[in-house]
């Protein structure tokens, strides 16, 4: 069964550094998403991406964040200058239709 994959599984970085989290969505899916889950809190929507552009983003997704689909298979989330409060589990999801989303296993980001 096809699945969403994410790399790395765990990323440790120092405050102020740039990080790129990578995702490979399911191959025939057209909609792509990033969510995050701070330890002990809800899963929160960050951004959705369709037709090579951002279709929706939350208040969390400020200028420090960007997304890109650099080729036909990868979907990346970049955090330009990480802060301590960016420490969280980041989930990538993809869907063939707008609302039935399939999630990857997540990348745990630890900012020190």
Partner 1 sequence: AQSVTQLDSHVSVSEGTPVLLRCNYSSSYSPSLFWYVQHPNKGLQLLLKYTSAATLVKGINGFEAEFKKSETSFHLTKPSAHMSDAAEYFCVVSVLNQAGTALIFGKGTTLSVSS
Binding residues vs partner 1 (CB under 8 A): 4, 31, 33, 35, 42-45, 48-50, 54-56, 58, 91, 93, 98-106
**Within 13 Å and on the Cβ side, how many CA atoms surround 14?**
0
Q: How far is the CB of 79 from partner 1 (least distance, A)?
A: 19
Is 27 or 42 the residue whose CB approaches partner 1 more closely? Answer: 42
- DSSP assignment of 47-63 equals EEEETTEEEEE-TT--T
Q: How far is the CB of 99 from partner 1 (least distance, A)?
A: 5
Is the CB of residue 64 less than 8 Å from the CB of residue 79? yes
Is 13 or 60 the residue whose CB approaches partner 1 more closely? Answer: 60
Q: How far is the CB of 101 from partner 1 (least distance, A)?
A: 6
């Amino acid at each position: 069964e096809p699945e969403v994959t994410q790399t790395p599984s765990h990323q440790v970085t120092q405050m102020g550094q740039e990080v790129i989290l990578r995702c490979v969505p399911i191959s025939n899916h057209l909609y792509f998403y990033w969510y995050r889950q701070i330890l002990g809190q809800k899963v929160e929507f960050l951004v959705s991406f369709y037709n090579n552009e951002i279709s929706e983003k939350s208040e969390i997704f400020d200028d420090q964040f960007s997304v890109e689909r650099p080729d036909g298979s990868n979907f990346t989330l970049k955090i330009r200058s990480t802060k301590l409060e960016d420490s969280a589990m980041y989930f990538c999801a993809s869907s063939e239709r707008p609302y039935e989303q399939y999630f990857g296993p997540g990348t745990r980001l630890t900012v020190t």
